[in-house]
Protein backbone atom coordinates (compact mmCIF):
# COMPACT_ATOMS: atom_id res chain seq x y z
CA UNK A 1 0.00 0.00 0.00
CA UNK A 2 1.35 3.47 -0.93
CA UNK A 3 0.71 6.50 1.31
CA UNK A 4 -0.76 8.80 -1.33
CA UNK A 5 -3.50 6.32 -2.33
CA UNK A 6 -4.82 5.59 1.17
CA UNK A 7 -2.87 7.43 3.89
CA UNK A 8 -5.27 6.50 6.71
CA UNK A 9 -5.03 2.78 6.05
CA UNK A 10 -1.29 3.01 5.50
CA UNK A 11 -0.85 4.76 8.84
CA UNK A 12 -2.99 2.21 10.66
CA UNK A 13 -0.98 -0.66 9.17
CA UNK A 14 2.35 0.95 10.05
CA UNK A 15 1.30 1.29 13.69
CA UNK A 16 0.25 -2.37 13.81
CA UNK A 17 3.60 -3.49 12.40
CA UNK A 18 5.58 -1.16 14.66
CA UNK A 19 3.86 -2.74 17.66
CA UNK A 20 5.33 -6.06 16.53
CA UNK A 21 8.92 -4.88 17.04
CA UNK A 22 10.91 -6.23 19.97
CA UNK A 23 13.54 -4.64 22.18
CA UNK A 24 16.09 -7.05 20.69
CA UNK A 25 15.70 -5.24 17.37
CA UNK A 26 13.68 -7.68 15.29
CA UNK A 27 10.00 -7.92 14.45
CA UNK A 28 7.49 -10.73 14.82
CA UNK A 29 6.86 -12.45 11.53
CA UNK A 30 3.73 -14.15 10.25
CA UNK A 31 3.47 -17.92 9.91
CA UNK A 32 1.59 -20.13 7.50
CA UNK A 33 -1.68 -21.11 9.28
CA UNK A 34 -1.85 -24.47 7.49
CA UNK A 35 1.24 -25.64 9.37
CA UNK A 36 -0.85 -25.74 12.54
CA UNK A 37 -3.78 -27.71 11.26
CA UNK A 38 -4.35 -31.02 12.98
CA UNK A 39 -3.03 -33.26 10.19
CA UNK A 40 -0.47 -30.89 8.72
CA UNK A 41 2.90 -32.51 7.87
CA UNK A 42 5.94 -31.37 9.82
CA UNK A 43 8.53 -29.28 8.02
CA UNK A 44 12.11 -30.54 8.00
CA UNK A 45 13.66 -27.11 7.56
CA UNK A 46 13.72 -23.78 9.33
CA UNK A 47 11.38 -21.48 7.49
CA UNK A 48 12.08 -17.75 7.40
CA UNK A 49 8.42 -17.13 8.16
CA UNK A 50 8.37 -18.90 11.53
CA UNK A 51 10.53 -18.27 14.56
CA UNK A 52 12.25 -20.54 15.19
CA UNK A 53 10.76 -23.64 13.49
CA UNK A 54 7.31 -24.59 12.23
CA UNK A 55 6.95 -27.40 14.75
CA UNK A 56 3.49 -27.35 16.34
CA UNK A 57 4.93 -27.19 19.84
CA UNK A 58 7.53 -24.55 19.02
CA UNK A 59 5.82 -21.31 17.98
CA UNK A 60 8.55 -19.42 19.80
CA UNK A 61 10.70 -16.65 18.45
CA UNK A 62 14.39 -16.65 19.24
CA UNK A 63 16.97 -14.11 18.10
CA UNK A 64 19.08 -16.61 16.18
CA UNK A 65 16.11 -17.51 13.98
CA UNK A 66 14.61 -14.06 13.53
CA UNK A 67 14.02 -12.38 10.17
CA UNK A 68 15.81 -9.04 9.93
CA UNK A 69 13.67 -7.54 7.18
CA UNK A 70 10.55 -7.20 9.37
CA UNK A 71 12.22 -4.40 11.32
CA UNK A 72 14.51 -2.99 8.63
CA UNK A 73 11.95 -2.19 5.94
CA UNK A 74 9.78 -0.33 8.44
CA UNK A 75 12.39 2.45 8.68
CA UNK A 76 12.12 3.60 5.03
CA UNK A 77 8.38 2.88 5.12
CA UNK A 78 7.85 5.34 7.97
CA UNK A 79 10.12 7.90 6.28
CA UNK A 80 8.16 7.61 3.05
CA UNK A 81 4.82 7.90 4.86
CA UNK A 82 5.90 11.13 6.60
CA UNK A 83 7.35 12.47 3.35
CA UNK A 84 4.11 11.80 1.44
CA UNK A 85 1.66 13.01 4.12
CA UNK A 86 3.68 15.68 5.92
CA UNK A 87 2.51 14.23 9.25
CA UNK A 88 5.64 14.94 11.29
CA UNK A 89 3.73 14.29 14.52
CA UNK A 90 3.67 10.60 13.59
CA UNK A 91 7.36 10.43 14.58
CA UNK A 92 6.45 11.48 18.13
CA UNK A 93 3.71 8.88 18.62
CA UNK A 94 4.65 6.33 21.32
CA UNK A 95 4.28 2.66 20.36
CA UNK A 96 4.77 -0.26 22.72
CA UNK A 97 7.19 -3.13 22.06
CA UNK A 98 5.92 -6.65 21.51
CA UNK A 99 8.32 -8.31 23.96
CA UNK A 100 6.95 -11.14 26.02
CA UNK A 101 7.09 -10.69 29.79
CA UNK A 102 7.80 -13.89 31.69
CA UNK A 103 5.45 -14.43 34.61
CA UNK A 104 6.59 -16.43 37.64
CA UNK A 105 4.37 -18.00 40.29
CA UNK A 106 4.75 -20.29 43.30
CA UNK A 107 2.34 -22.14 45.58
CA UNK A 108 3.35 -24.14 48.66
CA UNK A 109 1.90 -27.20 50.40
CA UNK A 110 2.97 -27.59 54.02
CA UNK A 111 3.58 -30.90 55.73
CA UNK A 112 0.94 -29.84 58.28
CA UNK A 113 -1.66 -29.63 55.50
CA UNK A 114 -0.72 -33.10 54.29
CA UNK A 115 -0.96 -34.43 57.85
CA UNK A 116 -4.40 -32.86 58.33
CA UNK A 117 -6.02 -33.57 54.96
CA UNK A 118 -3.86 -36.25 53.39
CA UNK A 119 -1.49 -35.74 50.49
CA UNK A 120 -4.08 -36.09 47.73
CA UNK A 121 -6.53 -33.55 49.20
CA UNK A 122 -3.87 -31.05 50.27
CA UNK A 123 -2.07 -31.14 46.92
CA UNK A 124 -5.33 -31.03 44.94
CA UNK A 125 -6.49 -27.94 46.84
CA UNK A 126 -3.24 -26.15 46.13
CA UNK A 127 -3.18 -27.21 42.47
CA UNK A 128 -6.76 -26.04 41.92
CA UNK A 129 -5.98 -22.64 43.44
CA UNK A 130 -2.82 -22.46 41.36
CA UNK A 131 -4.63 -23.38 38.16
CA UNK A 132 -7.41 -20.86 38.79
CA UNK A 133 -4.90 -18.08 39.40
CA UNK A 134 -3.00 -18.79 36.19
CA UNK A 135 -6.19 -19.29 34.18
CA UNK A 136 -7.53 -15.93 35.36
CA UNK A 137 -4.26 -14.27 34.31
CA UNK A 138 -4.41 -15.76 30.79
CA UNK A 139 -8.09 -14.99 30.28
CA UNK A 140 -7.81 -11.43 31.57
CA UNK A 141 -4.94 -10.70 29.18
CA UNK A 142 -6.76 -12.36 26.29
CA UNK A 143 -10.05 -10.51 26.67
CA UNK A 144 -8.30 -7.20 27.34
CA UNK A 145 -6.56 -7.77 24.02
CA UNK A 146 -9.82 -8.55 22.20
CA UNK A 147 -11.38 -5.29 23.36
CA UNK A 148 -8.74 -3.37 21.39
CA UNK A 149 -10.60 -4.31 18.21
CA UNK A 150 -11.16 -1.26 16.01
CA UNK A 151 -14.36 -2.25 14.20
CA UNK A 152 -16.82 -0.63 16.61
CA UNK A 153 -20.58 -0.31 16.22
CA UNK A 154 -24.00 -0.59 17.89
CA UNK A 155 -27.11 -2.65 17.23
CA UNK A 156 -30.57 -2.55 18.80
CA UNK A 157 -30.69 -6.22 19.82
CA UNK A 158 -28.22 -8.82 21.07
CA UNK A 159 -28.97 -11.18 18.18
CA UNK A 160 -28.36 -8.40 15.65
CA UNK A 161 -25.15 -7.46 17.44
CA UNK A 162 -23.84 -11.02 17.01
CA UNK A 163 -24.89 -11.18 13.36
CA UNK A 164 -23.52 -7.76 12.40
CA UNK A 165 -20.24 -8.31 14.27
CA UNK A 166 -19.62 -11.47 12.27
CA UNK A 167 -20.64 -9.80 9.03
CA UNK A 168 -18.29 -6.90 9.70
CA UNK A 169 -15.18 -9.05 10.05
CA UNK A 170 -16.12 -11.17 7.04
CA UNK A 171 -16.55 -7.98 5.00
CA UNK A 172 -13.22 -6.63 6.25
CA UNK A 173 -11.35 -9.76 5.18
CA UNK A 174 -13.22 -10.06 1.88
CA UNK A 175 -12.21 -6.49 0.97
CA UNK A 176 -8.58 -7.62 1.03
CA UNK A 177 -9.32 -11.00 -0.60
CA UNK A 178 -8.38 -12.83 2.61
CA UNK A 179 -9.82 -16.24 3.43
CA UNK A 180 -11.77 -16.88 6.62
CA UNK A 181 -12.37 -20.47 7.71
CA UNK A 182 -14.08 -19.77 11.06
CA UNK A 183 -15.32 -16.83 13.09
CA UNK A 184 -15.43 -17.14 16.87
CA UNK A 185 -17.52 -14.94 19.13
CA UNK A 186 -17.43 -13.75 22.73
CA UNK A 187 -20.47 -12.69 24.73
CA UNK A 188 -21.67 -12.23 28.29
CA UNK A 189 -23.13 -15.46 29.66
CA UNK A 190 -26.24 -13.72 31.07
CA UNK A 191 -27.02 -12.18 27.67
CA UNK A 192 -26.85 -15.66 26.17
CA UNK A 193 -29.29 -17.20 28.65
CA UNK A 194 -31.57 -14.17 28.48
CA UNK A 195 -31.79 -14.67 24.71
CA UNK A 196 -32.16 -18.43 25.08
CA UNK A 197 -35.07 -18.24 27.53
CA UNK A 198 -36.61 -21.66 28.05
CA UNK A 199 -35.00 -23.18 24.97
CA UNK A 200 -32.54 -26.02 25.50
CA UNK A 201 -29.06 -26.02 24.04
CA UNK A 202 -25.87 -27.89 24.88
CA UNK A 203 -23.29 -25.73 26.62
CA UNK A 204 -19.83 -27.28 26.83
CA UNK A 205 -17.07 -26.57 29.35
CA UNK A 206 -13.34 -27.01 28.92
CA UNK A 207 -10.46 -25.45 30.83
CA UNK A 208 -13.02 -23.49 32.83
CA UNK A 209 -14.55 -21.93 29.70
CA UNK A 210 -18.22 -22.19 28.79
CA UNK A 211 -19.01 -22.24 25.09
CA UNK A 212 -21.50 -23.39 22.49
CA UNK A 213 -20.71 -24.74 19.04
CA UNK A 214 -22.31 -23.63 15.76
CA UNK A 215 -24.46 -20.91 17.29
CA UNK A 216 -25.99 -18.20 15.07
CA UNK A 217 -23.30 -18.72 12.45
CA UNK A 218 -20.34 -18.80 14.84
CA UNK A 219 -18.18 -21.92 14.90
CA UNK A 220 -17.74 -21.29 18.64
CA UNK A 221 -19.36 -18.72 20.93
CA UNK A 222 -17.58 -18.28 24.25
CA UNK A 223 -19.81 -17.35 27.20
CA UNK A 224 -18.03 -15.12 29.69
CA UNK A 225 -18.78 -13.53 33.07
CA UNK A 226 -18.90 -9.79 33.70
CA UNK A 227 -15.24 -9.78 34.74
CA UNK A 228 -14.21 -10.45 31.13
CA UNK A 229 -16.95 -8.88 29.01
CA UNK A 230 -19.77 -6.63 30.13
CA UNK A 231 -23.39 -7.32 29.29
CA UNK A 232 -24.79 -6.03 25.98
CA UNK A 233 -21.43 -6.34 24.22
CA UNK A 234 -20.23 -8.96 21.74
CA UNK A 235 -16.89 -9.51 20.01
CA UNK A 236 -16.21 -11.35 16.74
CA UNK A 237 -12.84 -12.33 15.27
CA UNK A 238 -11.72 -14.73 12.51
CA UNK A 239 -9.43 -17.45 13.80
CA UNK A 240 -6.92 -16.46 11.10
CA UNK A 241 -6.55 -13.07 12.77
CA UNK A 242 -5.15 -14.33 16.08
CA UNK A 243 -1.49 -15.28 16.41
CA UNK A 244 0.08 -16.54 19.62
CA UNK A 245 3.74 -16.07 20.47
CA UNK A 246 5.08 -17.55 23.66
CA UNK A 247 8.15 -18.51 25.62
CA UNK A 248 8.73 -22.27 25.73
CA UNK A 249 9.41 -23.24 29.39
CA UNK A 250 11.23 -26.37 28.12
CA UNK A 251 13.75 -24.21 26.23
CA UNK A 252 17.20 -25.79 26.34
CA UNK A 253 18.76 -22.53 27.58
CA UNK A 254 16.65 -22.73 30.74
CA UNK A 255 17.74 -26.32 31.28
CA UNK A 256 21.39 -25.29 30.92
CA UNK A 257 21.02 -22.95 33.90
CA UNK A 258 19.44 -25.74 35.91
CA UNK A 259 15.82 -24.65 35.42
CA UNK A 260 14.00 -27.81 34.36
CA UNK A 261 10.28 -27.26 33.81
CA UNK A 262 7.71 -29.90 32.94
CA UNK A 263 5.39 -29.07 30.05
CA UNK A 264 2.48 -30.89 28.45
CA UNK A 265 0.01 -30.46 25.63
CA UNK A 266 0.41 -29.42 22.01
CA UNK A 267 1.69 -25.96 22.95
CA UNK A 268 4.12 -25.51 25.82
CA UNK A 269 2.50 -22.43 27.33
CA UNK A 270 3.05 -23.31 30.96
CA UNK A 271 6.05 -24.88 32.71
CA UNK A 272 5.80 -26.56 36.13
CA UNK A 273 8.41 -27.65 38.62
CA UNK A 274 7.87 -29.20 42.06
CA UNK A 275 10.49 -29.05 44.79
CA UNK A 276 10.53 -30.23 48.42
CA UNK A 277 12.31 -28.10 51.01
CA UNK A 278 13.47 -30.13 54.01
CA UNK A 279 14.33 -26.98 55.97
CA UNK A 280 10.69 -25.90 56.31
CA UNK A 281 8.99 -29.20 55.40
CA UNK A 282 7.12 -27.65 52.49
CA UNK A 283 6.56 -28.69 48.89
CA UNK A 284 6.51 -25.76 46.49
CA UNK A 285 5.05 -25.81 43.01
CA UNK A 286 6.66 -23.31 40.64
CA UNK A 287 5.28 -22.15 37.31
CA UNK A 288 6.45 -19.83 34.55
CA UNK A 289 4.56 -18.54 31.56
CA UNK A 290 5.18 -15.91 28.92
CA UNK A 291 2.82 -15.27 26.03
CA UNK A 292 1.80 -12.51 23.64
CA UNK A 293 -1.39 -12.40 21.61
CA UNK A 294 -1.10 -10.63 18.31
CA UNK A 295 -3.70 -9.61 15.76
CA UNK A 296 -2.52 -9.03 12.23
CA UNK A 297 -5.47 -6.69 11.75
CA UNK A 298 -6.90 -4.81 14.72
CA UNK A 299 -9.63 -3.64 12.35
CA UNK A 300 -10.38 -7.33 11.85
CA UNK A 301 -11.87 -7.57 15.36
CA UNK A 302 -15.46 -6.32 15.72
CA UNK A 303 -16.74 -5.01 19.04
CA UNK A 304 -20.48 -4.34 18.91
CA UNK A 305 -22.61 -2.97 21.75
CA UNK A 306 -26.38 -3.23 22.11
CA UNK A 307 -27.67 0.33 21.98
CA UNK A 308 -30.37 2.68 20.73
CA UNK A 309 -29.46 2.53 17.05
CA UNK A 310 -28.18 0.20 14.34
CA UNK A 311 -24.73 1.45 13.36
CA UNK A 312 -22.51 -0.65 11.11
CA UNK A 313 -19.13 -1.37 12.75
CA UNK A 314 -16.38 0.88 11.44
CA UNK A 315 -12.99 2.25 12.44
CA UNK A 316 -13.27 5.54 14.32
CA UNK A 317 -11.78 8.59 12.61
CA UNK A 318 -9.46 9.11 15.59
CA UNK A 319 -7.96 5.67 14.94
CA UNK A 320 -7.19 6.55 11.33
CA UNK A 321 -4.92 9.41 12.20
CA UNK A 322 -6.94 11.81 10.07
Which of 122-131, 171-180, 246-255, 293-302 is predicted least confidently? 122-131
Q: What is the pLDDT of residues 229-238, one digit of tens each?
A: 999 999 999 9
Which of 4-8, 181-185, 259-263 is predicted least confidently? 4-8
At 28 the pLDDT is: 67
pLDDT above 80: residue 40? no
Q: How far apart are CA 31 and CA 217, in angstroms?
A: 27
Q: What is the pLDDT of residues 185-223, one digit of tens each?
A: 999 999 999 998 878 788 887 666 788 999 999 999 999
- Whether pTM exceeds 0.75: no
End-to-end CA distance of the chain: 17
Q: What is the pLDDT of residues 123-167, one digit of tens each?
A: 777 777 777 777 777 778 778 888 888 899 999 999 999 999 999
Higher pLDDT, 207 or 33: 207
At 161 the pLDDT is: 96
- CB of 141 within 8 A of CB of 227? no
Rounded mean pLDDT of the chain?
A: 78
Instruction: Give the 3-state secondary structure percentages of the chain, helix then strand then coil, rounded to 5.
Output: 35, 25, 40
Amino acid sequence: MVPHSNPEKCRSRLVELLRALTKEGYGLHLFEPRWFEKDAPQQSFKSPTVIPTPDKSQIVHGLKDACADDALWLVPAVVQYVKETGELSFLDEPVTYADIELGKWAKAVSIEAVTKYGAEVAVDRTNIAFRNELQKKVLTDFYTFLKTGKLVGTQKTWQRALAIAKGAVLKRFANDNLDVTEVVGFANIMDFYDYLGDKEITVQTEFGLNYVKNFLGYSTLFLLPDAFIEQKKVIAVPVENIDLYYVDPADRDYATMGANYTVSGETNLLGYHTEYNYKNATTTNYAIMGMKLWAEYLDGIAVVTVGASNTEPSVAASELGG
